[in-house]
Structure formats: C-alpha cells, structure tokens
Amino acid sequence: MTPLQLAGFAASILIGVSLGLIGGGGSILTVPVLVYLLGVNPLMSTTYSLFVVGTTSLVGSVTYMRQHQINYKAAAIFSIPSFFAVYLTRKFIVPSVPDTVFSTPTFVLSKSVAIMIFFALIMLVASMSMIRDNSPKDQQASGQLRFNLPLIALDGILVGVLTGIVGAGGGFLIIPALVLMVRLPMKMAVGTSLLIIAANTLIGFWGGTANLHIDWPFLIKFTTLSVIGIMLGTFLARFIPSRNLKKGFGYFVLVMGIYIILKETLL
C-alpha cells in the first residue's frame, strides 16, 4: 500500500470523526479523499461517497436515537421531497451529463473536471457556513414545534439535488433548516440531520449504481474505518466544544475547495 493510500484510509477515519463531532462537514471531504488520495475517478467517487456517508451517518444516528434526540416527524417531512430529488438526480440528471460539458478550440471542460469544480464550489459554500457559524446556540425547545412545509420541502429538494450530484450529505443546509424552520434544539437537529443524511445518501447510492461496477471490498474497508471514526467522534463530542472545531474545520474545507479549483483549472 502506497503512502497516498495509507493517507486516504486514515482520512476516512477523520471523516467519521467530523460527522460525530459536529453532525456534518466531514462528508464534504469524502470525494476529494477518494479522488486525490485513492485514485478513484470523480463520478465513481460521488457514488462511493453516498454509501460511505449514508452508512456512517446511519450508525451515528443510533446514538441520538438512544438519547431520544431525533424528531422523526421533522425527518419524514424533510426527507420525502429530498428522497425524490436525490433519486431522480442520480438516476437521470447525472447520467445525462455529456462527457464533454463545454469546449472551444483551445479549451475542453470534461464531465469529470466539471464535477470536481462544482464540488469545490459547494465546499466553499459549506466552509463559509461553518466559519461564520450562524446557527443558533444550544437551546431547549421553546413552545410548540412549527413546520413551514413549503420552505422545508424546498430546502429538502435543494439538499437532494446537491447530494445526488456531489455525493455529500448536505448537513450544512439541513441543520439550520431544522433549527430555524422547525425550532428543534441544536442537539436534536444534529441527530435528526444524521438520520436524514443517511436516508438520502443511501437512496442516492441505490439509484445511481445500475451501470457501475462497485469494488465492494474496497468500499466496505473505507466505510468501516469511517464508521469507527464516527463512533470515536460521538464519544469525543462529550468533551470537546463542537463550535470551535466547526470553525477550524471550515477553514480547512475552504483551503481544500480552493486547491481543487486551482488543480482542476490551472495546475
């Protein structure tokens, strides 16, 4: 095993740790790790990422289930439009993108490069969300929960499309929606988000594997390490302030996003 491969499998543990600590963020690194460290092509990486993130988030959500920190009604209302969006995106939109997205006599934008650039732009948006950290502080639910169905459905569709295209969970969009639109306490929003991410990404994986050859031994090995990471992260979350980690991780994701854009366009 090469040093890059060792680094890639080590990074899978860190992806899980991040999901366990801050309820999101780590999944945004799964595709870059698979592409740049483990040599998986971008389209296959988004597919693998769906399985890795889905399985890891599902395991992580079990801890919140035991603590009764998941609102199943909110998860169902958010997930239904998101399910359709992620499935249709993986089933029809992604396969319909041509191998050459754009070309001129001196420039060709391939599907693989376009996916990585789009992914990098999502990373930049996610990093700013984590750095600014506009989500409300931990709070107890005050009054009756509210469900703004049109806004929740719209956010669910947006998360579903993004999940389908880039293979990330979209926790940076889901958690603020649950806190602001449904008025969930922060800890319950994190637990509910993990369950939504798990459902979305696993459905997306199922919808996008029809014509792909999956390297199951590799995928299971990578996912197992990520699951170990989320178990470790969930344990560490009891002792480490997640807000400080979230901001530092946001800066790391920002640097990674800029690096990917430079690598795919200039380097």
Higher-scoring residue by pLDDT: 197, 23: 197
253 and 24 Cβ atoms separated by less than 8 Å: no
CA distance 57 to 198: 5
pLDDT at 219: 94
Q: Of the segments 33-37, 93-97, 120-124, 162-166, which one has the largest average pLDDT value?
A: 33-37
**Beta-carbon neighbour count of residue 67 at 10 Å?**
11
> Mean per-residue pLDDT for 199-213?
78
Cα–chain center distance at 217: 22
pLDDT of res. 243: 65
Q: Which backbone phi and psi does 101 adopt, to 5 degrees?
A: -75, -40
Sequential DSSP letters for 217-243: HHHHHHHHHHHHHHHHHHHHTTTS-HH
Structure token digits, residue 129: 């969300």
Confidence of residue 142 (pLDDT cuts 50, 70, 90): very low
pLDDT, position 109? 86
73: pLDDT confidence band, cut at 50, 70 and 90?
Answer: confident
Domain span including residue 88: 3-265
Backbone angles phi, psi at 240, to 5 degrees: -110, 130
pTM: 0.77
Dihedral sign, Cα of residue 171, residue 68, residue 52, residue 80:
negative
Residue identified by tokens 């999944």 is 27
> Which pLDDT value is given to residue 267?
60
The DSSP symbol for 39 reads: -
Check residues 261 and 43 and name the one with the higher pLDDT: 261
pLDDT of residue 175: 77
Number of domains, the chain? 1
Confidence of residue 89 (pLDDT cuts 50, 70, 90): confident
- 3-class secondary structure, 122: helix
Average pLDDT score over residue span 91-109: 83
Calculate the CA 159 to chain-centre distance: 10
**Helix, strand, or coil (residue 101):** strand
pLDDT surpasses 90 at 9: yes
Alpha helices (runs of H) in 133-241, residue ranges in sequence order: 149-166, 171-181, 186-207, 216-236
Query: Is the confidence at residue 226, as pLDDT, over 90?
Result: yes
Taken as a whole, the chain contains a residue count of 267
pLDDT single digits (tens) 19-32: 777 666 666 788 88
How many whole angstroms separate alpha carbon 206 and alpha carbon 208?
6
Dihedral through CA 248, CA 251, CA 255, CA 257, nearest 10? 110
